Chains A and B, each alone.
Chain A
């Protein structure tokens, strides 16, 4: 029975994590070719192909896409943190409203992700609701371009990832001992001081975990930049998609995917350490 229990995750990891990863690694070292599938594996005669990985370092297009993705992910994580910290702490202290508010945070998951992004398009486009309201109020005559901007992209990212940031902060805030803030007040700390010196330091691991929980998936995000972002937002997710489906360059797409994974191993390991500490 015990062996069987170990077999299940072992099988799962082998089939769904290790095998695809190995496949991607092999692809990254393969040669582009005309045909189906459009590549030639290293054992077909040409040997290992180092050019795909070298291209990532040499071609600014790929390098910048990775860099831009990390910047957008960091911005998304930072904005989520700014919103999620007061939300998580507030919900933890909301008394009998706690469960209602927590359900409200999770409510978006009940609607399809694409439908929610579609709703943003409806709100933000030139003939959308926001521009309609602005025009009706006489604040503008020509529509303000909102959709397909960096702002719209960040808005969509924050909207999609916010719940993931709220939950760990909420969980940590419920574990705080309310007597500690009282003790700080008793010793002469103003509410602001007490928050900065007593509450916030205890929430730091949770804040870091919340940031990483957003940062890691946001770095590879494809759908939101594609649907809401500007055409020149060449994030790595988009570039992988283009290489794979438009240029049919599976090896370069695979190399990009590997590079992103390598860049994220640091944050992922950090997140796991925080998880153990918390």
Chain B
């Protein structure tokens, strides 16, 4: 299957700073990709390069195999949903949605039909004649989405699509977005700084840091097997344990007061491993991959409690203790922690 979108070695510099540093990325037709990164990671610049608002200094951008170099934004079969929504304040909801279709010069009847269809799809009935300022945040978000989707783009770009919504609306709108993406069949590329959003919505997550894509893969894979320390701490706030690699490929970690052993010997250059808080359990017996510490703090989180455990070597581990495993150990208790080999994830520097 050929890729819908192919980026190869895309670099964009702003003065001495490389906002994008050799980004290579492929998006399949119908795929929902999340670009996840902090502010300044280059994710928004990447989106603007795809839309045509920024020209890359080097590298190529291809849509269905056709090079987009020098193609201005208004001639790209790509549409974008802006972070601020960028609705036209002097136009009604219907006029906003129809704007892109009018530019295509479609017959009036078809424009009317497609606008009505988009309005029905995004549950905006009754809002047609309102101006954007008379809409709620969630309604504006849906108008912005309708305005982009009504063009039936092959690729839809979404810049923090849920960013301006409150927490309640976010979850519901996230599910809607997912359903709309399946229904429309377009490839979606979404920029977000919210890891939960990226993991929940996307088929594939590409984590960006300082202008590079540091890891791309299905959400579960990126979450379970982060490849670098940055990803491990950015996604789900894993414990990062540092130490020295032993002869037989384990990690001797003085901070935790133990030796951590993974399924396979650690790579030569690994000097740290990640350990997810929810993969650490309490163990009755000493043994391989166990260590002793004292509970310093305990915070109740509904379905679990987050424990901060001070290890004998001085390091602090975050441990998620599931409610179904019984009451968590009290503050000050000495506990033995254990984990499986499979949960020890080697990190590259």
How far does the alpha carbon of A78 sit from the alpha carbon of B148 in the complex, in Å? 38
B318 interface contact, C-beta 8 A? no
Interface string of A174-213 (1 = CB under 8 A from B): 0001011011111111110110011001100000000000
Task: Decide: B84 and A179 in contact? CB cutoff 8 A.
Answer: yes
Task: Decide: B90 and A186 in contact? CB cutoff 8 A.
Answer: no
How far does the alpha carbon of A201 sit from the alpha carbon of B75 in the complex, in Å? 23
Task: Decide: B100 and A180 in contact? CB cutoff 8 A.
Answer: no
Closest to B103 in A: A188
Closest to A193 in B: B103
Interface string of B82-103 (1 = CB under 8 A from A): 1010111110000000011001
How far does the alpha carbon of A217 sit from the alpha carbon of B151 in the complex, in Å? 49
- Residues in B with CB closer than 8 Å to A177 are 84, 86
B294 interface contact, C-beta 8 A? no
How far does the alpha carbon of A193 sit from the alpha carbon of B52 in the complex, in Å? 18
Task: Decide: B73 and A186 in contact? CB cutoff 8 A.
Answer: yes
How far does the alpha carbon of A198 sit from the alpha carbon of B100 in the complex, in Å? 12
How far does the alpha carbon of A187 sit from the alpha carbon of B73 in the complex, in Å? 8
Task: Decide: B151 and A179 in contact? CB cutoff 8 A.
Answer: no
Given contacts A187-B100, A187-B151, contact A182 B90 (CB under 8 A): no
- Residues in A with CB closer than 8 Å to B148 are 186-187
Closest to B82 in A: A179
Task: Decide: B103 and A187 in contact? CB cutoff 8 A.
Answer: yes
Task: Decide: A186 and B80 in contact? CB cutoff 8 A.
Answer: yes
- Chain A stretch 230-252: residues in CB contact (< 8 A) with chain B: none
- Residues in B with CB closer than 8 Å to A189 are 74, 99, 103
Closest to A194 in B: B74
Closest to A201 in B: B90
- Residues in B with CB closer than 8 Å to A197 are 99
- Chain B stretch 39-53: residues in CB contact (< 8 A) with chain A: 51-53
- Residues in A with CB closer than 8 Å to B52 are 185
Interface string of B282-298 (1 = CB under 8 A from A): 00000000000000000
Most B Cβ at <10 Å: residue of A185, A186, A190, A197: A186
- Residues in B with CB closer than 8 Å to A183 are 80, 82, 86-88, 147
B267 interface contact, C-beta 8 A? no
How far does the alpha carbon of A154 sit from the alpha carbon of B51 in the complex, in Å? 47
Per CB-CB distance, the 4 closest pairs between chain A and chain B, nearest first, are A187-B100, A188-B103, A183-B86, A179-B86
List 19 contacting pairs A-B, 8 Å CB cutoff, sorted by A: A180-B89, A182-B53, A182-B82, A183-B88, A183-B147, A184-B88, A186-B51, A186-B73, A186-B79, A186-B148, A187-B74, A187-B99, A187-B148, A188-B100, A188-B103, A188-B151, A189-B74, A189-B103, A202-B89
> Footprint of B on A, CB under 8 Å?
177, 179-180, 182-191, 193-194, 197-198, 201-202
> Footprint of A on B, CB under 8 Å?
51-53, 72-75, 78-80, 82, 84, 86-90, 99-100, 103-104, 147-148, 151
Interface contacts beyond A185-B74, A187-B147: sample of 9 additional A-B pairs, CB < 8 Å, sorted by A:
A180-B86, A184-B88, A186-B74, A186-B79, A186-B80, A186-B148, A187-B148, A187-B151, A198-B88
